[in-house]
Every structure is written in structure tokens, then in C-alpha cells.
């Protein structure tokens, strides 16, 4: 059963009571991510996420970890382009501990100078590790190429140059500006009572006040980003070429989002998808090839990733473009649509069998839609999508003149980007 309460200071509390489970997952979400950073602040949201586990006025970093380990629970966090989430998963009997730990790090973190320096080193290693993982790194490069000079294009962890320059006052100023009650959402799922959770959160977070004024220019404006087209190469000594090809897509709440789910899945959303069958199974040109969507509150893109040899890079791009052209031309069969609809419905339902997935599900619905969206409604909408809707969307999105491609590999002097025929 879903329930929602808004505290007097604007903090929202949403929950999904699941009485047949023994676990509880609880998250404190903040509508703040790398999108809300100015260029010199790139990475500060992610850095703050790390620092909130490094000690409070009553607990050391070791004590925070020990208390959660002692009950076999999980305490973690993540930062995305638009959100940061601090969450815990515990047995229902240990929910009071999870509440105490989460609210303590959220309200009472020290931002200790020595911890900042230690964590700076950790994050710099994290950035280096990401750059040494080419199948992930090419996605960061594509975002930078596609969303040129916009915060959505910058990496969540930041750059070595920005991370190296942050000082304690930078963290405190950004934290107090962005971590306001009106941007905070508490989401819980599992074996508990909503009213009890609301009472606990009101006691611990209800006294947090909304500041009267903001510091002008202290965070990035959320302007709609322009996008670029063309082919962009990034040289790195690698055995393969890793490529990411994409084009403007749709935002999180777009009316055609259900058609987009189906379109993406047909294209490259599994082992039966067109790209996997054509590029890997039939031709053996890539070990990993898939399509994906990245959707934000006001924009998005649909993309394709493949890792292949230097000699096969052009052929792989041609095969991707051929499949995009076929979909836009309406070469889609009814049985393919039915199979994909069943695949999506199954994925949704199987993916919501744990309390942590439900915690995230209801939080994202609240953040993007401002309300609960039932799984029955979502599945019904997916099954009701028609072939004409899919073809119409494919025709609108899959336009070569709007596409961009980022390639990461050991390019030679005779490597010709013009061979790839995009953006024309």
C-alpha cells in the first residue's frame, strides 16, 4: 500500500508498506546532482555524498560502518545527474537504527578537514579507474560531446582539476544551498507502518528550516541543453574501438515514453534484440552491443554502444544505422512488438520483488511525476502501445542529421572520421 505525507517544512515522505517482507529499505533523496553544478563545481555533489559517511558529531566513520555491519544491513549512497540518494536496507526490527544512522549523517556530518583530504585521494583514484574502463568511459565522453558546455554533459565524479581544488567552505556552502527541505524526499518500502515512519521523520527532520534566501549564482541554472551532431574521436591505446552513437530522445514524463521503452528494447534491449542478433550473433563483430535511453526531467537521448575492432568500426556503425533506418521506415512486425511488450512487463515485475527496488521506484515516481504511478498502469500502457505509435516515434528520433558518435580507441593518422557518414 502506497502512502504520502508532506511535513510542515516541505520534506516529503512516501512509502510502500509490504507486510509479507522481513526487510525495510529507506532512502533520503535530494533533488541535487551534477546537473546543478557550475563548471568549477563539477564533482562537488558526488564528493559531498562521500563525505557524509566520514563522521558526525556523535559517530566516527568506523562507528557508522560497524553499527550497520553488526546487524547485517547495507548503508550506501549514489549521485546521479539530477539526484543524490542516501539509503539503508535492514531487517524490520533494525529500522530504528537505519533511521538514526541516515538522519545523523544527513544532519550532523563534520566535513572534517583530514577526512576531506583522504576522500579527495579516493575520488581521484575513482576518476582514474573510470578512465581505465573504456566501455564505461566512452559514455562519459559521449555526454561531453553531445551536451557541449552544459552541466548534463559533465561527469558525475568531476575532473581531477575540479576535485583537487575543493575546500571545506565549498562543501559547506553548496550543501546548505542545495540540501533544503523542499528538495528532500524520504522514501521507504517494506515491513513498517507509514504513520510510524512519518512520526520518526518529523521528530528528526521536521525542525530543519527552509532558508529565507539563496546565494545568487551559487548553483547552475537548469536550462534545457543544446545538443551537437557529428563524429568525435578520442585517442587512447586500446585493443578495441569503443563507440557510443546517440541522438536526442524524450524526457522522463513524455507521453510517448511507453513507446520509447518498446522501441529501445526492440533495437538493442536484450539477446533477442536486432542489434545483438545482427552484429554479434550473425556477424560476430562485437562481444558487447546494446541500446539504451537516458532520460532527464526535460530532455533525454537514445544511444547505442558497441565495442569492436578498428577494422570493423565502420561496418558496425553502418549496421546500426541500417537498423535505425529500418525501424523508422516501419519494418516492425506484430509478433516482435508482442514479444517485446511481454519482455518489458516481465522485467518490471521481476525487478520489483525487493524492498530496495520499491524504495527507488516510488521515490522516482514522486520526483518526476509528483504522484504514485502503479505498476498495473505502467504495464497496461506498455501493452496498449500500437505499431503506429512505435513507427511514428522511430521516424521522429532516428534522423542521421541529428546523430552524434563518440569513438575511443588507438586511432592512426589515416583514420578518417568522414567515413562514418553522420550529421549529414
What DSSP string runs through 31-77? S--GGG--GGGTTHHHHHHHHTTS-BSS--HHHHHHHHHTTT-EEEE
Catalytic residue among 17, 31, 37, 49: 49
Q: CA-CA distance, 378 to 184, in Å (whole number)?
A: 26
Element (H, E) at 293: strand 289-295
Q: CA-CA distance, 83 to 30, in Å (whole number)?
A: 6
Degrees (nearest 5) of the Cα angle 121, 127, 131? Answer: 145
Torsion of CA 245, 251, 252, 254, to 10 degrees: -120
Q: Per the structure block, which three cell numbers stand in for 237? A: 591505446
Phi first, then psi, for residue 168 (nearest 5°) are -55, -40
How far is CA 118 from its chain centroid?
26
Residue with cell 503506429: 388
DSSP 185: E
DSSP 183: G
Residue with cell 542478433: 277
How far is CA 21 from its chain centroid?
27
Q: Contact 240/370 with Cβ under 8 angstroms?
A: no
Task: HSE, CB side, 13 Å, CA atoms: give it for residue 384.
Answer: 8
Buried b (16+ CB within 10 A) or exposed e, 184-194: bbbbbbbbbeb
Rg of the chain over Cα atoms, rounded to whole angstroms, equals 23
Q: Contact 2/15 with Cβ under 8 angstroms?
A: yes
Q: Contact 366/4 with Cβ under 8 angstroms?
A: yes
Q: Contact 244/137 with Cβ under 8 angstroms?
A: no
Q: Examine the residue annotation and report whether 117 is marked as an active-site residue of this protein.
A: no
Q: Contact 257/273 with Cβ under 8 angstroms?
A: no
Q: Contact 243/318 with Cβ under 8 angstroms?
A: no
CB count within 10 Å of CB 75 equals 20
Q: Which residues are catalytic?
A: 49
Amino acid at each position: 500500500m502506497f502512502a504520502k505525507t508532506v511535513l510542515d517544512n516541505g520534506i516529503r515522505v512516501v512509502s510502500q508498506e509490504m507486510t509479507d517482507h522481513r526487510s525495510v529499505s529507506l532512502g533520503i533523496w535530494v533533488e541535487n546532482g551534477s546537473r546543478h553544478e557550475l563548471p568549477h563545481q563539477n564533482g562537488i555533489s558526488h564528493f559531498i555524498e562521500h563525505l557524509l559517511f566520514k563522521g558526525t558529531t556523535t559517530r566516527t566513520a568506523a562507528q557508522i560502518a560497524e553499527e550497520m555491519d553488526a546487524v547485517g544491513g547495507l548503508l550506501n549512497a549514489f549521485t546521479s545527474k539530477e539526484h543524490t540518494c542516501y539509503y539503508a536496507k535492514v531487517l524490520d526490527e533494525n529500522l530504528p537504527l537505519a533511521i538514526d544512522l541516515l538522519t545523523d549523517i544527513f544532519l550532523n556530518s563534520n566535513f572534517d578537514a583530514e577526512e576531506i583530504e583522504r576522500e579527495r585521494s579516493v575520488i581521484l583514484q575513482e576518476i582514474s579507474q573510470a578512465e581505465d574502463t573504456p566501455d564505461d568511459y566512452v559514455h562519459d565522453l559521449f555526454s561531453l560531446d553531445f551536451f557541449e558546455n552544459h552541466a548534463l554533459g559533465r561527469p558525475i565524479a568531476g575532473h581531477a582539476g575540479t576535485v583537487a581544488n575543493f575546500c571545506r567552505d565549498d562543501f559547506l556552502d553548496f550543501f546548505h544551498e542545495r540540501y533544503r527541505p523542499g528538495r528532500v524526499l524520504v522514501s521507504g518500502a517494506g515491513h513498517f507502518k507509514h504513520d510510524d515512519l512519518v512520526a520518526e521523520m518529523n521528530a528528526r527532520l521536521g525542525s530543519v528550516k527552509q532558508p529565507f534566501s539563496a546565494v545568487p549564482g551559487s548553483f547552475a541554472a537548469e536550462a534545457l541543453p543544446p545538443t551537437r551532431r557529428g563524429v568525435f574521436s578520442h585517442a587512447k591505446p586500446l585493443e578495441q574501438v569503443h563507440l557510443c552513437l546517440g541522438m536526442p530522445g524524450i524526457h522522463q514524463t513524455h507521453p510517448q515514453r511507453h513507446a520509447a521503452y518498446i522501441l529501445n528494447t526492440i533495437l538493442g534491449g536484450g539477446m533477442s534484440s536486432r542489434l545483438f542478433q545482427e552484429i554479434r550473433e550473425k556477424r560476430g563483430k562485437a562481444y558487447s552491443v546494446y541500446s539504451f535511453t537516458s532520460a532527464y526531467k526535460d530532455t533525454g537521448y537514445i544511444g547505442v554502444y558497441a565495442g569492436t575492432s578498428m577494422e570493423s568500426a565502420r561496418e558496425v556503425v553502418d549496421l546500426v544505422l541500417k537498423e535505425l533506418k529500418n525501424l523508422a521506415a516501419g519494418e516492425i512486425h506484430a509478433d516482435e512488438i508482442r514479444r517485446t511488450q511481454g519482455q518489458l512487463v516481465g522485467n518490471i515485475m521481476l525487478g520489483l520483488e525487493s524492498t530496495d527496488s520499491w524504495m527507488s521506484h516510488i521515490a522516482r515516481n514522486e520526483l518526476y511525476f509528483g504522484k504514485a504511478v502503479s505498476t498495473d498502469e505502467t504495464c497496461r500502457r506498455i501493452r496498449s502501445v500500437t505499431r503506429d505509435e512505435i513507427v511514428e516515434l522511430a521516424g521522429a528520433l532516428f534522423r542521421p542529421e541529428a546523430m552524434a558518435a563518440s569513438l575511443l580507441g588507438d586511432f592512426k593518422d589515416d583514420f578518417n572520421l568522414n567515413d562514418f557518414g553522420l550529421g549529414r
